[in-house]
Structure 1
Amino acid sequence: MKSFLVSLLAVAVAASPLAPRDAQGTCDQPDGAPTQVNNSTVCPCWSWYKIQNGDDCGPVADKHGITKQQLESWNPWLNIDGYECVGMWPRSNVCVGITPPDNLPPPPCNKNAPYPQGKGTVCNCKQWYKIQNGDDCAPVAAKFSISKDQLLKWNPWLTVDGYECAGMWPQSNVCVAI
């Protein structure tokens, strides 16, 4: 009977509303995220894996270079009613990476800077802006009465392989005043 209840609960969790949220109830997963993500999945998540038949938490975590505890904490819906990893439903998407690409901790000169931010951000930044889905350099610069050139100079990681603003990753922080 208990296994039936666990199965029933697992189906209910899998059928729950799919709207990625953070602790405040607001978060948009970065571009490239699957369209259907359980609403208790960590946000933002930068790397995903689609569960296959026969998958289990330990081997999936090992395959992606993370611990089973990280996998379960980023995807709390995997554990149901005290049973570990019973939510591994095929074709569900699990978060397997929370570090943005090419991201480093804030440089020592920006000790109280928000995380994450890109490599090479100008020192002694006085104001930060968290990038949102759909943001582009020119409108963000205009919002803070600076030029696009200033934004790119203060945040050189926004330019990727010669393409300006290609590094505008949602949830990363850019310096908008020095």
Structure 2
Amino acid sequence: PGPVQAGQPSNCNKWTLVNSGDTCYSIATANGISLSTFLAWNPAAGSDCSGLWSGYYACTGTGPTPSPTQGGSPSRCNKWYLVASGDTCAGIASSQGISLANFYAWNPAVGSTCASLWLGYYVCVG
């Protein structure tokens, strides 16, 4: 759809057109999601919803979490990477444009030294 605001998840698969008078809470409630989830998926709206723009589409649903994952990833992860042969935590973080600290925070199962990065499993990268 278009137009959309910046920062929405790449796996968004349900969109709602924002109309005049809509609020973050009203859109979230109408779509069966929590306000915190709505704000995580629509960060440009801002925590007070002052950045919600009429005439733009808000993300109100995302695709399923891929499988398998190693577990422990944040529930609001919206970008995943499939670990391939030769991958390292630092290499994945670099190629995906995230800090190594965030990679470890979002993927605690890999361990603090990346000793448990499993081939063929998805890791959170956004």
User: What's the TM-score, normalizing by structure 1?
Assistant: 0.36
Q: Which has the higher contact order (CA 8 A, sep 6+)?
A: 2
Which structure has the bigger radius of gyration? Answer: 1
